[in-house]
Amino acid sequence: MSVEEFLRVDDVVVGYGSSDILKSLSLSIRKGEFVALLGSSGCGKTTLLRAIAGFARPKSGAIHVNGKDVTLLPPDKRGMALVFQSYALWPHMTVAQNIGYGLKLRGMARADITRRVEELQDLLGLAGLGQRKPGALSGGQRQRVALGRALAIDPEILLLDEPLSNLDARIRLKVRHDISALQKRLGITAVHVTHDREEAMVMADRIVIMENGNIAQQGAPEEVFNRPASPFVAAFMGAENMIQLRGTVGGGHVKIDSSATNREAVLPLDGRALSDGVYEARFRAEGAHLLVNDGAADAADAGLDLVGHVEAASYPGGTWRHSVRVGDEILLVDSPQPVAQGEAVRVRIPAKNLFLFNLGGSFSRPRQSSLNEGGAARVLEASHA
Amino acid sequence: MTTTAATRPTFSVDLWWIPRAIVLGLLAFAIFGPLANLVLWTVTERWYFPHALPLEYGVSYWGRVFSPRGTAMESLTNSVVVAFLTVALAMALAVPAGYALARLKLPWRALIMLAFLIPQAFPNLPVYVNIARLFYQFGLNGTVAGVVLVHVTHGLVYAVWIATAAFSAIDRELEDAARSIGASPLRTFRDVTLPLAAPGLLASAIFVFLESLDEFTGSYFVGAPDVNTMPLLLYTASSGGNYQIASITAVLLLIPSVGFMLVVERFLKSDVLSKVGH
C-alpha cells in the first residue's frame, strides 16, 4: 500500500440476484487525484460509484478510505459527497438551503452557514440566486447548485455521476474546465463517471475504462489514448476503423504480409506484445493520411498502406472525412483536401497510429471466407432441393 | 352533425345543442335540485303538501340545533372528535405502511395493497353486525374508541393507498442525495421525504376525515345510542319527520366535504394520482 493511496477498492463484487454487475474489481486512487470511470452504458461504472458512495452493498470485497474499512458503513458516515446525474436538488428548499443543508446537519451556526453558502455561490457563479427554488433555475445553474451542495461539506472524496450529461453541449465544455479547476484548487479526490471519452480525457488525471464489470485499462489520458491495451479500449478511444492483417514478428519489428488490400510493411514493435499470426488492426480517422494512388512505392517503414477507393466524402469541419472501401471494409479517413468519389487511393497509417492486437487462430481472409461460406451454403441448399 | 351548418354558414345554429342542453339541464337538476331543496328546508318554518314553496321562512331551527341543550351540538362534537382521532390513528398507520409499500421491494406488495380493500369489499351490514358483537365482548361498544376503530378500518384503504402513491412519487435520488452528504435515514425522512409527500399525505388525511364524518353504518351498530354522530342525528331527525333539523345537519356535513374537496383537488397532483393503487 503506497503512502499516497487514499481510496482502495479490493475485489469488490456487486450484483443483484445471480448476475454480477461488478466482477471482482480492484482500484486504487491517490489523494487529490481526479479519476474518470469511462465506459458504455451497462458496464458497471455507475454501480462502482454507488458502491464507493455506499448505495450498493458489495457481495464480497472491501472498500477502504485512508486505511479505514468503510465497506459496511452507510452512505452518511463515509465523508463523501455524490453529485447525481439528475442533480437531485430538493424542490421544497431554496438554492441557499440546498447548499447549506449538509452544514446544517453538522450543527454549524446559522451565521457561519450563511457565510459559507455565500462563498460557494460566488465561487460557482450563483450569486444572487440564493432565494430561488431549483425549479426556477436553468440546467447549468442547477448543476452548479448540486456541485455546491456537495462541496459545502468539504468532502474527502467527491463522486460525480455523469453530472454534465444533461447540459447543453456549449455549457458542458465550460463546466468541464470549471469542475476540474475547482477540484485542483480545493485538492479534493474526485471520481467522475462518464460515457463521454473527450470529457474524461479533458478532466481526469487518470482514466479507468470499464468493460462488463471489469477494468479494461487504466492510465493517464495520453497513455490510454495512444497505447490502448485491447481492441475494446482502442475502439472506445475512437479507433473505430478495423481491418484484419497477417504478419510475423522478429527482431523488434512486425512484418505485415501484403495482400489484396494492403502492401507489405515493416513496423517497429515498440512495446507491442504480438506474436505471429492474424492481427486486428485499428486506427482513427484522423490518424491516417489519404494519398491518391499514383503507384509509387515509398519506403515500407513509413507505415502501413491500404489500397481502396473513395466511396463518399463529407465535411464535418476542419478536415474532409472520406469513407474509403478497402476490401470488404468501409473505413473513415480524414484528409485536408477532398478526394473525388470513386478515386483509387492509398490509406497510409503511420506506425504510431496503428493499434495491432493478436486475434484467435481460426481466421481466413474475410472476403474469401465469406465467399466460401456463401458458396458452401448455396451448394447445401441446392442439394437439399 | 354539422352538415346544416356547413351548407348554410350564415345561419349556423347547431341544432344538436337542443338535446344537449336538455340533457345538461336534467343533469344539473338531478344534482342541484335536491341540494336546493335541502337548503330551502334549512330556512323553513312551515312547509307542507301541496305547496311548492315554504309557507313561512325563518331560522329558528338553527337556534334549536345550536342550543346548548340540543343533541345536535353533542353530535357535532362527537363527529369532529371521532374524525380527528380517526385521522390521527389512520395516518399513524398509513405513513409508515405507505412508505414501506412505496420504497421497500416487498414481494407481497400487491396483495397487501389489496388487503386494505377488504373492509370495503364485503357487504357492510354483516361485517358491522359482527364487529358490534365482538366489540360488545371487549366493552368497546358505545365508546368513542370503538367508533374510531371502525372508522379507521374503513378509511385505511384511502390513507394507505394515497400515502403509498405520495411516497412513490418522490424520486429516490432526492433521499440518496441527503444521505450522501451526511443525513441519517430518520433525518432524511424528516427533512426531505415528509415535506415532499406532505401534499399527498394531507389529501389522504382529508379523505379519511370526510369518510369518518359521513360514515353511518358502523357508527350506528357500534356507537348508537351512546355515541351519537352527525349522520346518526340526520337519520333520527329525518325518520322522525323533522326535515329542518335533518337538513341543517346535512348542510353542516356538506360544508367540510365541499371545502376539503377543493383543497384535495389543489393538492393531489397528477404524479401522485397516477400512482394510486400501484
Q: Is the pLDDT of residue A317 over 60?
A: yes
B144 is written with which cell numbers? Answer: 368513542
* Dihedral sign computed on CA atoms, order A239, A241, A242, A245: negative
Q: What whole-number distance in Å separates Cα of residue B97 and Cα of residue B161?
A: 9
Q: How far is CA A336 from CA A25, A354, B148, B194, in A?
A: 44, 20, 84, 61
Q: Is the pLDDT of residue B241 over 70?
A: yes
User: What is the structure's pLDDT at A364?
Assistant: 36
**Would an 8 Å CB–CB cutoff place A232 in contact with chain B?**
no
Tell me if B183 and A80 make a contact (CB, 8 A cut-off).
no
Domain shared by B44 and B140, yes or no: no
Q: Is the pLDDT of residue B141 over 50?
A: yes
DSSP classification of residue B210 = H
**Would an 8 Å CB–CB cutoff place A72 in contact with chain B?**
no
Q: Which CATH superfamily is domain A5-231 in?
A: P-loop containing nucleotide triphosphate hydrolases (3.40.50.300)
Name the percent of chain A lying above pLDDT 90.
Answer: 37
Tell me if A88 and B191 make a contact (CB, 8 A cut-off).
no
Any domain includes B22 = yes
Contacts with A80 from chain B: Cβ below 8 Å = 180
Q: What whole-number distance in Å separates Cα of residue A297 and Cα of residue B89?
A: 91
The Cα of A152 is separated from the nearest Cα of chain B by a number of Å equal to: 9
Domain of residue B154 covers 71-273
Interface probe for B, chosen from A52, A57, A90, A113 (most Cβ of B below 10 Å), is: A90
Minimum CA–CA partner of A102 in chain B? B181
Q: Which of A76, A90, A149 sits opposite B184 (nearest CB)?
A: A76
Q: What whole-number distance in Å separates Cα of residue B114 and Cα of residue A360?
A: 58
User: What is the structure's pLDDT at B121?
Assistant: 79
Q: Is the pLDDT of residue A371 over 50?
A: no
Q: Are A200 and A221 in contact (CB under 8 A)?
A: yes
Contacts with A81 from chain B: Cβ below 8 Å = 180-181
Q: How far is CA B196 from CA A190, B133, B227, in A?
A: 31, 42, 37
Q: Is the pLDDT of residue A298 over 90?
A: no
Contacts with A153 from chain B: Cβ below 8 Å = 181-182
Tell me if A92 and B196 make a contact (CB, 8 A cut-off).
yes
A201 is written with which cell numbers? Answer: 480525457
Domain shared by B96 and B209, yes or no: yes
Strand partners, A117: none
Binned at pLDDT 50, 70 and 90, residue A380 comes out as very low
A325 is written with which cell numbers? Answer: 472501401
Domain shared by B35 and B111, yes or no: no
Contacts with B193 from chain A: Cβ below 8 Å = none
Domain shared by B160 and B210, yes or no: yes
Q: How far is CA A381 from CA A13, A369, A373, A374, A377, in A?
A: 49, 18, 12, 10, 6
Domain residue limits, chain A: 5-231, 246-361
Count of domains for chain B? 2
Any domain includes B65 = no
Please state, rounded to an integer, the average pLDDT across all residues of chain A.
85
Q: Are B227 and B18 in contact (CB under 8 A)?
A: no
Q: Which of B177, B184, B191 sits opposite A84 (nearest CB)?
A: B177
User: What is the structure's pLDDT at A262?
Assistant: 85
Rounded to an integer, the average pLDDT of A45-70 is 91
**Would an 8 Å CB–CB cutoff place A86 in contact with chain B?**
yes
Interface probe for A, chosen from B181, B189, B269 (most Cβ of A below 10 Å), is: B181
User: What is the structure's pLDDT at B177?
Assistant: 93
Binned at pLDDT 50, 70 and 90, residue A374 comes out as very low
Q: What whole-number distance in Å separates Cα of residue B191 and Cα of residue A90?
A: 10
Q: What whole-number distance in Å separates Cα of residue B3 and Cα of residue B15?
A: 11
User: What is the structure's pLDDT at A384?
Assistant: 40
The reply to whether ipTM tops 0.90 is: no
The Cα of A181 is separated from the nearest Cα of chain B by a number of Å equal to: 22
Contacts with B267 from chain A: Cβ below 8 Å = none
Cell numbers 355515541 label which residue? B227
B199 is written with which cell numbers? Answer: 401534499
The Cα of A8 is separated from the nearest Cα of chain B by a number of Å equal to: 19
Q: Are A217 and A228 in contact (CB under 8 A)?
A: yes
CATH architecture entry for A246-361: Beta Barrel (2.40)
Any domain includes B113 = yes
Q: Which of A54, A76, A84 sits opposite B183 (nearest CB)?
A: A76
Minimum CA–CA partner of B182 in chain A? A76
Cβ-based burial of A146 (10 A; exposed 0-12, middle 13-18, buried ≥19): buried
Binned at pLDDT 50, 70 and 90, residue A254 comes out as confident
Binned at pLDDT 50, 70 and 90, residue B59 comes out as confident
User: What is the structure's pLDDT at B5?
Assistant: 46
3-state helix, strand, coil in chain A (%, to 5): 30, 35, 35
